[in-house]
Amino acid sequence: MKISCQTTALSQLRVFLKKALGEMNMSDIDQHQITLAVEEVCANLIIHSHKCNALDYIQLKIKQNPGKLIFEITDEGKAFNMLDYEVPDLDKVKGEKRKGGLGIILVKKIMDEIEFESSKGTNTCRLIKWFQS
């Protein structure tokens, strides 16, 4: 799926994921959480790497391997490696009254593996969820 870098595209992303994940054998709660994790990564890219420039795009591919589901998100914006990002303590987020920082905590808690690579201006983030098959 090609996603335009504007926050209004996030609802289309959810519709796409609902259809794709609905065809797989997983619980409602798993579907919901995976949707959330993928959306959080895309929302971060849209807002921080692409500054909501609707002319920019990010690409999402879903790959099903034995025992795992891989969500590959590529873009050509400013590279952001969430693996380098130190997850803030929840009390700190509360104390600083800030609204950001929670998305990456969710992604790290929901997904089983996260990979990131950047090469020749293209960034690839892979979110991997393991399944018993």
Partner 1 sequence: MLKIETQQENGHDILLLQGEVDASNSVILDEAITKMVTDGCRSILVDGSGLEYISSAGLGVFMSYLEDFQEKEIDLKIYSLSDRVFEVFRILGLDQLIRIYPDKKTALSS
∠ CA 60-98-34, nearest 5°, is 30
Nearest to 39 by CA among 17, 55, 54: 17
Contact pattern for partner 1 over residues 57 through 96, marking x by CB under 8 A: ---------------------------------x--xxx-
Among 53, 98, 113, 130, binds partner 1 (CB under 8 A): 98
Q: Is 29 in the site for partner 1 (CB under 8 A)?
A: yes
Which CB, 117 or 130, lies closer to partner 1? 130
Q: Is 39 in the site for partner 1 (CB under 8 A)?
A: yes
Q: Is 11 in the site for partner 1 (CB under 8 A)?
A: yes
* Other Cβ atoms within 10 Å of 17 Cβ, number: 21
Sign of CA dihedral 28, 32, 33, 38: positive
